[in-house]
Chains A and B, each alone.
Chain A
Amino acid sequence: MPTVKSDTLSLRSEQDIVNVRQVVRKLAQECGFSLVEQTKMVTAASELARNTVTYGKGGDVLWEMLTEGLKKGLRLSFVDAGPGIPDLELALTDGWTSGGGMGLGLSGAKRLVNEFEIETAPGKGTRVTILRWK
């Protein structure tokens, strides 16, 4: 699938999380997402951005606007070099949390998008990629 455009945003502080939400909202609008689709994508981005800042000790998010045939899509990859996730299955369980959250960050974000991929290993950082099509 061809990439229309892409860019990387830094994720170091809480203000960066807000920034990511705003950028993702704009991109989702550009892709022609409906209001509900926009809100789902922005919310998923917010959850994952917070994970990157809080648990990953900061990192980056790469956004890509894609086309496949006539479809438009938005892919976001959250990358950090933090401690990684030791037990992935557990981390993807509803209600499980290592921090102070509701434990719905990863599993919730997964339900809000069409494709969800996670690569992680203890000490090797984490990369979460989400994709949503119009």
Chain B
Amino acid sequence: MFDSVLRDDYQNILNEWLAELQSAKSGSDHRLGVTELRSQGETFLSLLRDASKKGQLASGQGDSWLALQEFLERISSSRAVQGFTSSETAGFVFSLKKFLFAAMRRTSGANAEALAAETWKVTELLDKLGLLTVTTYQKAREDVIRRQQEELLELSTPVVKLWDGVLALPMIGTLDSARTQVVMEALLQRLVETESEIAIIDITGVPTVDTLVAQHLLKTVTAIRLMGADCIISGIRPQIAQTIVHLGVDLQGVTTKANLADALSLALKRLGLTVGKVKQ
């Protein structure tokens, strides 16, 4: 019955549904234009009809079913970015129920039993499609969150240029291994981009270092050397020096300096530069 309703009563369902979608949309809502909303409604219903024609709704397989799925995924992820809530997004699909049921009632006449059975089937189908929009919506939101997390990670430790050929990475706060990894990769990348020969990792602002982080530091120093640049670690606090020794992390062969100034002066020396007072 559902298939025949979609085929024969298509235009009525579409018009009623679009009218409802349009009236439910408040005038002050600028996230989605009326034309776009209408065209999304038309596309969704026509894709639903195509899939029903080919009998792909029941099986949940086939090209038209996939097209329907893809369309829903596309509009839900765009709605997630536009700032719709997940219930607003799913509501788009659920709001169609009312008009499908009305159309089915018109055709079924007195056959209540057939109507009930068919209604159940359609409810299941639309619930499934509605849930699909929620899943996609969530995925899109998670993507946004992850991207922001990554941006935050990179922002939290900027690689700065101290001199031509000298980069510094002033690390502040607790280091976990994910953060260490991200900033180290950023440092290596900047070394290549700026063709800097010396990198200074300053850990003055780091309260503690665990084995994993110490190993990351060590690996970074080794990777920097492999690329043909030099690395100096500065600002190791006494407690951290103790931890490093107790942990048995071998920092031999790594140049360390008490503070950033000493590290910079060593870097300049290596580049053959000197800093002196201007004679008056």
Enumerate chain A interface residues (CB-CB to B < 8 A).
34, 36, 70
Contacts and interface: CB of A to CB of B under 8 A. Distances in A.
A66 to B, nearest CB: 16
Contacts of B139: 70
B185 A70 contact: no
B262 interface: no
Nearest to A35: B185
B142 interface: yes
A107 to B, nearest CB: 16
A36 B185 contact: yes
Interface of B: 139, 142, 185
**Interface SS of B by simple majority:** helix
Nearest to B138: A70
A70 B185 CA distance: 24
A119 B185 CA distance: 34
Interface majority SS on A: helix, strand, loop or mixed? loop
A101 to B, nearest CB: 19
Nearest to A36: B185
A70 B135 CA distance: 10
Contacts of A70: 139, 142
A106 B236 CA distance: 36
Contacts of A34: 185
Nearest to B143: A70
Contacts of A36: 185
Nearest to B146: A70
4 contacts: A34-B185, A36-B185, A70-B139, A70-B142
A42 to B, nearest CB: 16
A112 to B, nearest CB: 13
A34 to B, nearest CB: 8
A36 B185 CA distance: 8
A36 B142 CA distance: 22
Nearest to B189: A35
Nearest to B135: A70
A36 B139 CA distance: 24
A34 B142 CA distance: 17
Nearest to A34: B185
B242 to A, nearest CB: 28
Nearest to B188: A36
B132 to A, nearest CB: 15
A36 B223 CA distance: 12
A34 B185 CA distance: 11
A35 to B, nearest CB: 8
Contacts of B185: 34, 36
A34 B139 CA distance: 19
A34 B147 CA distance: 13
Which 4 pairs between the two chains have the least Cβ-Cβ distance?
A70-B142, A36-B185, A70-B139, A34-B185
A69 to B, nearest CB: 9
B145 to A, nearest CB: 10
A82 B139 CA distance: 44
Contacts of B142: 70
A70 B139 CA distance: 7
A108 to B, nearest CB: 14
